[in-house]
Chains A and B, each alone.
Chain A
């Protein structure tokens, strides 16, 4: 599986402050990146404001007389099977999707980085073992592995988060491992070793900074994937549990009612779509800015 070269460039020195400033400058000239930043910012802000502007207690929400009420001036997105206002639920759903998406990716990145460092630096049987493990994980189509993991652990949001993270770990392990391997061979690391410098110190000083930009690119692009995966598991009934207003779960509820109440599935779907578009635009822009090899492409 090592046929696909990771986009890695090794710089002999740690990037300076001017480079970061340069990246920022370039980012703010990137029109679609700014649109992405705006969308993501919008979702983050309304999610943070939701409990202040529109407090919501899913456990008590019920209005059986408004059951399956269509969209109206009073209920912009209509009502669901319990007569709950879909607008409020879609709004609050953003909190769940964003949080789980971010946490899953963070979890995957940390685990993947540790495994990648261990694999590349220690080498030997540990390297073989970790590469083998990652190849096994990659041999599964992602959703299928996530389903098996959730079935094992029990369906809830935390376990869905873990399952999604596990399917993403190999991405980070590979990036970090390939950076470690290439850095290890460079003269300055060999020299540092020869001078008796602490080997872990070498890793942190040289490997992490060099992996940072591919990692950041991968992180941003993975958040969109993670949000979609959370929704997919929710749709299969393996993610968030009712009455949580999770978008995938809301589409699942809407699917059984889509002849009568299409609004139940339409609006949460649009919310997923918009938020994922936001992260993807942002990720593309960050890649353009950080990855010099792809910058002009």
Chain B
């Protein structure tokens, strides 16, 4: 019986393979294909095949390369930027890509009163606020977009931004056909319409909750892609994604459980695809607005009590490293190694010194969802809790919906909590300013003007060595105060069938990987 079924299945799959269809197994379906109105990897991995950015990253790295823009330059204080655009590119609907199209897109994101912003109908452009401060008059970085000529635009900024090209390379800012946006309005980006861009693949259909299909754009400016059709399937559980990959019903499966590394490596039909480095960090935050975490000795004791190496060995499958600071270890601006090594004896002494010889109890909040930096948050949290119990600190493990979690950690409701960060752009600023800038007061109850000053200085300087020194100093300040405990930098486990090549995992996550050059051998 089993043989018969397998044979029948094989027949079905052989019939498909000849059509050069590449099936991607991801963890869910997009929220929207209007890229600036979405923010999750599952949306961006699809839209990035259809619509493109001005600036891209080199495959497998974080260096910037031209995409829809070919070159760029700034005035002396980096407040006015000129971008030259690629000539002869058209959107899938025939609309020409030019300076007018760029202005249309950027104004739509930046100006709430733009006739096609769609904000009154529910478009939100959330990532625009994240990276560019907010829309016009509400913390905006971009003051004005000017069409210089057919293939050149100028961005006038409200303050200096030496790293503007890196911001444009953030995966969200993909350019859509103005004609399509105007025609479809609020429905643009939904399954009924999809999206229209300049990329290597065109939208075909999206059946909600079931599949999303793209086809090759034969007129792509960089030459047609190798595979004819792309199919995206959302499979929630990593284990189920692996099962489908092993069955051959999926060609590439992203974000697998690290516990499966050995079985993927042992399978002759599969190959692993792990980025060499990945820009993320997971940490344990200690909110000083809560007693007794306001006591630096207590915070040091906690840092000494947890055996990070043992936990990372058990739960990160050899892909992660123990974090020595809050900037990924491959980036510049590294501080001195983290001074608080695993030492439960020392932890007990510090607790006694702080006036808690019998320990104390508090709450420890863990993330309800897994992220690359915390691949299995719940068992990791349980393990951390057991280490804390060893030195007398009784923590109650708590969690809530991710939504509420992200709102509540900023209020001081969580005495201790797990969180982390995946980079939007490859600069320590993206990590350290996020953690220890103005928000440290609310997120950590840590009010340190000196550190904030260092971070602001580092934003304005162009000299890389000076910046590195400033960021190292920030890291050392944080370590001295034990404002947070760095936990791990991790890499994600992706895998593909052995007949797939050309898929290069990116340090910025799977959603940044173009499927243009992926090939599927028969």
Contacts and interface: CB of A to CB of B under 8 A. Distances in A.
Interface of A: 57, 59-62, 64, 67-68, 80-82, 151, 154-156, 237, 241-243, 253, 255-260
B contact face: mostly helix, strand, loop, or mixed: helix
A219 to B, nearest CB: 32
Interface string B315-359: 100000000000000000000000000000000000000000000
Interface string B452-478: 000000000000000000000000000
Given A64-B310, A154-B400, A242 B383 contact: no
Contacts of A259: 239, 242-243, 260, 263
B390 A60 contact: yes
A242 B376 CA distance: 13
B450 to A, nearest CB: 38
Contacts of B382: 62, 82, 242-243
A156 B396 CA distance: 11
Contact of B381 (A60, A80, A242, A260): A242
Main secondary structure of the interface of A (DSSP, over half): loop
Nearest to B259: A260
B401 A151 contact: yes
Given A155-B399, A259-B260, A82 B368 contact: no
Contacts of B401: 151
B399 A241 contact: yes
A242 B386 contact: no
Most buried by B among A60, A62, A68, A154: A62
A59 B239 contact: no
* Best-surrounded residue of B238, B315, B389 (most CB of chain A within 10 A): B389
Interface centre among B260, B263, B397 (most CB of A within 10 A): B397
Contacts of B259: 68, 257, 260
A220 B311 CA distance: 45
B378 A253 contact: yes
Given A60-B389, A62-B387, A82-B382, 18 more contacts: A60-B390, A64-B310, A64-B314, A80-B379, A154-B400, A155-B400, A241-B398, A242-B379, A242-B381, A243-B386, A243-B397, A253-B379, A255-B237, A256-B376, A257-B259, A259-B242, A259-B243, A260-B263
Nearest to B307: A64
A81 B378 CA distance: 10
Contact of B257 (A64, A156, A253, A256): A256
Interface string B393-411: 0100111110000000000
Contacts of A256: 237-239, 257, 376
Contacts of A151: 401
B385 A59 contact: yes
A64 to B, nearest CB: 4
B400 A258 contact: no
A62 B239 CA distance: 24
A237 B398 CA distance: 11
Nearest to A63: B386
Contacts of A59: 385-386, 389, 394
